[in-house]
């Protein structure tokens, strides 16, 4: 009896140690899928990405998938301006106004994004021409109409953008040339002042289609003529912002408001994790603002709900990334264990987790690293034991059972 028991025990242990069939490891449901969110125009996040990939590898997570955060839509004003000018030159004023009004409405909130100073001047000039219906037959000395009066406001805006511009009388109707020159003369005689735009140290600021400038704490524009001016602000990690400034005082300070951060939203991260068969998404993403920081957050793949997050300071050290990854990975295991315990409780109803709505179709995953190889016993016995603790537990239980059984049978004899 004892011999049979020991023989059967050894056979059972050998069965436990036998390699799993091909594909069995792939069939296991991964717990956490790591994702690195790449911000638009942010090549400097390579160090954070490498640190996150190294931490994910050390904790034997899946290969890191790199997901690009969508950039803001390109401005439509340049194309609308081009079409509007063509229509105005052909004296198709209704078609010209349709396109030029579209461009004007956009630059009012974008600060002239996509257009240079000269192009902004063209926008207002040809819009004034279309508003006044100033064709080649329009007389300079003709009585002013309501349309010509409304158009003069755009002539003033054009003169504010390009006060030193001289129009060629062979290219534009005489009335356009005369009204624009009158606006230029008025702008040259207006009072001047100082406009200061304040914001974070990383914000880039442009005035009236000029070049973007970065000055710590803000930019000051001096000797600025009274009139309407355009401010545009761009900053890594945030949506662009712009406004129209009615400038008419000796000194004016403008504070850049809070803007929408550019980020990989939790629903999209959850959809990427579900596609990889994982229960959670572990997202690392650089944060915009003074000194780039890194945020690591844990998202439930079934619901798209944020579970926990860690914000790491600028110039992250390797240990900080590792600590964040380890803590959030343990949080995922704790949540999973609690869910399994609750599901196995007597009388517990079957719970079907809600599925978050999938966003637009996902592109193919870009994996940053290969799955980590299993540790061999000869290289690192403690690490090998951690990887195989279920097997070792089972072997120990079987061996203990065999010893107790043997002792019981010997006692009976």
Which tens digit of pLDDT belongs to each residue from 222-240? Answer: 999 999 999 999 988 889 9
Distance CA(232)–CA(77), nearest Å, equals 14
Average of per-residue pLDDT values in the chain: 82
Distance CA(334)–CA(350), nearest Å, equals 20
Q: What is the mean pLDDT of residues 126-132?
A: 97
Domain boundaries, the chain: 1-30+376-413, 77-189, 192-255
In DSSP terms, which residues pair with 229 in a beta bridge?
245
* Residue 283 token pair: 């997202």
Which pLDDT value is given to residue 373? 55
Which band of pLDDT confidence, cut at 50, 70 and 90, is reported for residue 18? very low
Residue 43 has pLDDT above 70, yes or no: no
Least reliable range by pLDDT among 83-87, 262-266, 348-352: 348-352
Which band of pLDDT confidence, cut at 50, 70 and 90, is reported for residue 39? confident
Distance CA(125)–CA(159), nearest Å, equals 8
Residue 389 has pLDDT above 90, yes or no: no
Distance CA(284)–CA(269), nearest Å, equals 11
Which residues does 43 contact at the CB level (< 8 Å), separation at least 6? Answer: none
Residue 384 has pLDDT above 60, yes or no: no
Closest listed residue to residue 238, CA positions, set 73, 72, 110 = 72
User: pLDDT tens for residues 287-312?
Assistant: 765 556 788 999 999 999 999 998 88
Which pLDDT value is given to residue 144? 86
Chain-centroid distance, C-alpha 256: 20
- Select the highest-mean-pLDDT range: 168-182, 204-218, 322-336: 168-182
Residue 315 has pLDDT above 90, yes or no: no
In DSSP terms, which residues pair with 245 in a beta bridge?
229
Is beta strand 251-255 parallel, antiparallel or unpaired with respect to 293-300? unpaired
The second-level CATH assignment, the architecture, of 192-255 is Sandwich (2.60)
Which residues does 393 contact at the CB level (< 8 Å), separation at least 6? Answer: none
């Amino acid at each position: 009896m004892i011999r049979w028991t020991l023989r059967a025990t050894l056979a059972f242990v050998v069965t436990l140690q036998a390699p799993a069939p091909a594909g069995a490891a792939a069939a296991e449901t991964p717990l956490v899928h790591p994702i690195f969110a790449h911000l638009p125009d942010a090549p400097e996040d390579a160090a954070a990405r490498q640190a996150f990939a190294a931490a994910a590898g050390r904790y034997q997570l899946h290969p890191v998938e790199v997901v690009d955060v969508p950039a803001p839509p390109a401005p439509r004003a340049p194309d609308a301006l081009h079409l509007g000018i063509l229509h105005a030159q052909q004296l198709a004023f209704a078609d010209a106004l349709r396109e030029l009004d579209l461009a004007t409405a956009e630059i009012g909130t974008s600060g002239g994004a996509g257009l240079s100073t000269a192009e902004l001047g063209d926008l207002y000039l040809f819009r004034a021409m279309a508003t006044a219906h100033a064709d080649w037959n329009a007389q300079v000395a003709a009585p002013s109409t309501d349309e010509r009066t409304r158009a003069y406001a755009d002539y003033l805006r054009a003169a504010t953008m390009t006060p030193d511009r001289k129009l060629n009388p062979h290219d534009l109707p005489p009335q356009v040339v005369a009204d624009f020159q009158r606006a230029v003369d008025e702008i040259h005689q207006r009072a001047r002042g100082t406009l200061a735009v304040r914001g974070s140290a990383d914000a880039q600021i442009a005035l009236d289609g000029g070049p973007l400038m970065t000055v710590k704490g803000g930019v000051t524009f001096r000797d600025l003529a009274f009139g309407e001016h355009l401010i545009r602000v761009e900053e890594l990690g945030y949506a662009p912002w712009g406004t129209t400034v009615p400038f008419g005082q000796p000194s004016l300070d403008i504070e850049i408001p809070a803007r929408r951060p550019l980020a990989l939203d939790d629903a999209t991260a959850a959809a990427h994790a579900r596609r990889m068969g994982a229960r959670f998404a572990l997202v690392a993403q650089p944060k915009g603002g003074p000194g780039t920081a890194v945020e690591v957050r844990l998202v439930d793949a079934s619901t798209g709900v944020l579970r926990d997050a860690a914000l790491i300071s600028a110039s992250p050290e390797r240990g900080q990334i590792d600590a964040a990854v380890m803590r959030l990975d343990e949080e995922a295991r704790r949540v999973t264990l609690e869910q399994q315990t609750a599901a196995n409780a007597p009388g517990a109803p079957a719970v079907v987790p809600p599925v978050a709505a999938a966003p637009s179709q996902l592109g193919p995953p870009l994996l940053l690293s290969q799955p980590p190889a299993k540790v061999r016993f000869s290289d690192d016995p403690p690490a090998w034991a951690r990887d195989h603790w279920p097997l070792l537990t089972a072997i120990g239980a079987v061996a203990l059972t065999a010893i107790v059984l043997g002792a019981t049978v010997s006692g009976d004899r």
